[in-house]
Chains A and B, each alone.
Chain A
């Protein structure tokens, strides 16, 4: 029987899942994901996590809880860095520990360290380490990694082509992709906006050079990859004349957001070019209040006075 690998559908899952799925399938495993977040996942996460944890980490724990009795292995890599000379937020480094510390009766955790800060070769090393845990040889791992990377490239270019240019209004949405693309905690933000007749653009749909250009003006390099991406997307939106408004989603309890979110908001105020709104999400955020704000924001963009 194929070993079952559980992948929690939270945090970096949204960025890498096609690659992760492919990789494990190529290593003769059955991938079990934890399904789209629901109220139950959030509630479980909130119960398990310490109060200070950010909302996405709480959600991650909820997904682990859902999976833990259904699989032989849980894939919770310790991701230190995914870009040269940069880091992810410290929560990603501590993720396997947070899982072990807060949840009992866990299956084997694959907590391989991924650190591409100094060298991309470390990706191959990490893949070999995972292969070793599953008893797979170097050739099989190599091939699996290669196929996984191909999936990832395909996924990324698909996302970039997703923009519907026929809509009358375009809104740039800033925020961690594991919030924006989680329909439950984002309360279906993207679908709601589309229903109101506006097109949504997120950092994931932008090209790497565009994001890079967005942070080119910074006096000091930002070494958190995800925050840098947010900042780059923000500035890219500021510079574009066809973006009618910008909505920033921040997560309650997120350290990097409280800094970078503020930086982006100040810049938006300084430029006074596009309407800008920050929505801070936590597990208690009410859908009615969110909807009122969204509707008012869209009215603001479309309104020509009475």
Chain B
């Protein structure tokens, strides 16, 4: 039986799992939709991994917006924010990386590294115009599958300029350009450029982007966006093989170094997937904050709790 480290990245859109060996090479990876049910996604992910590979887990790390939840369910050795996890993954896969562009379904980030150390980063705040959901919207509007978006864009001769400050404007401008008779390829390439411009003007504002540049996240599969980045930045953009599970890879790498320090793993085992987990919540009315307190139950026992703005409910 092989041995390795597991990283789990639970975000609002997808739940990703990666298994790496001692040399940090990826042995297995998995990409699932979270569908608003992170616990189910985690359990299903564990079950599927177990079917895919016979492995002894030496350490486990979690990341993503549901990192704490995932951490208590699997017994994580390390729980880290997604920025650190993505930076770790990029510098593991591409030595000497200086810029990480990450675009996912709902969010995007940029990370600047120098000499292997993160020196600056930014995340998108509210605007979706620089994220994957912008493309999804436009793809469904044009009635073409999102998977074909990128290759169509590469076929463009002269991309049209789409005013894309915000997805609402972009949409009306795109319809306008369609009515003017521009061909589909040029419009799609124009959309890719609009997204790249939005991203660089929002998330990438004021950042010094130097190569090697790594582009990761779900949107990195899109050839059109990669090409638009290369054109805009004038440097080669590297899309790693496992670009859509980089957060998970990063947390697996972090788990490896955490276990080195603590000597043994806290992983609860794959059985976790057969336990009954559920979440209950109540509103605390002890003060006008009216915090919504979330309880995480394993069978009948409360194993974690959060949501309070004061220490009142800290102890489980």
Residues of A within 8 A of B (CB): 38-41, 184, 188, 265, 269, 275-276, 280, 284, 288-289, 291-293, 295-296, 299-300, 303-306
Contacts and interface: CB of A to CB of B under 8 A. Distances in A.
A144 to B, nearest CB: 33
11 contacts: A38-B289, A39-B288, A40-B289, A41-B288, A292-B81, A299-B80, A299-B83, A300-B84, A303-B84, A303-B117, A306-B91
Given A39-B290, A289-B125, A305 B82 contact: no
A296 B92 contact: no
B118 interface: yes
A38 B121 contact: no
A295 B84 contact: yes
The 4 closest A-B pairs by CB, nearest first: A296-B83, A40-B288, A305-B116, A38-B288
B309 interface: yes
Contacts of B290: 39-40
B238 to A, nearest CB: 19
Interface string B88-102: 100110000000000
Contacts of B253: 306
Given A292-B81, A303-B84, A306-B91, A275 B120 contact: yes
> Which of the listed residues A284, A296, A300, A304 has the most CB atoms from chain B within 10 Å of its own CB?
A296
Interface string B282-298: 00000111100000000
A276 B121 CA distance: 9
A178 to B, nearest CB: 19
B257 interface: yes
A74 B289 CA distance: 24
A305 B289 contact: no
Given A39-B288, A39-B289, A269-B206, A293 B123 contact: yes
Contacts of B254: 306
A288 B118 CA distance: 21
B85 to A, nearest CB: 9
A295 B254 CA distance: 15
B65 interface: yes
B1 interface: no
A288 B257 CA distance: 26
A295 B116 contact: no
Contacts of A40: 288-290
Contacts of B83: 292-293, 295-296, 299
B23 to A, nearest CB: 13
Contacts of A306: 88, 91-92, 116, 253-254, 257
Contacts of A293: 83, 123
A275 B118 CA distance: 9
Given A38-B287, A303-B117, A306-B253, A292 B82 contact: yes
B88 A295 contact: no
A279 to B, nearest CB: 10
Nearest to B121: A296
B316 interface: no
B168 interface: no
Contacts of B309: 184, 188
Interface string B15-52: 00000000000000000000000000000000000000
B119 interface: yes
B69 to A, nearest CB: 12
Contacts of A265: 206
A305 B120 CA distance: 14
Nearest to B290: A39
A255 to B, nearest CB: 20
A244 to B, nearest CB: 13
B91 A288 contact: no
Contacts of A303: 84, 117-118
Contacts of A296: 81, 83-84, 118, 121
Contacts of B257: 306
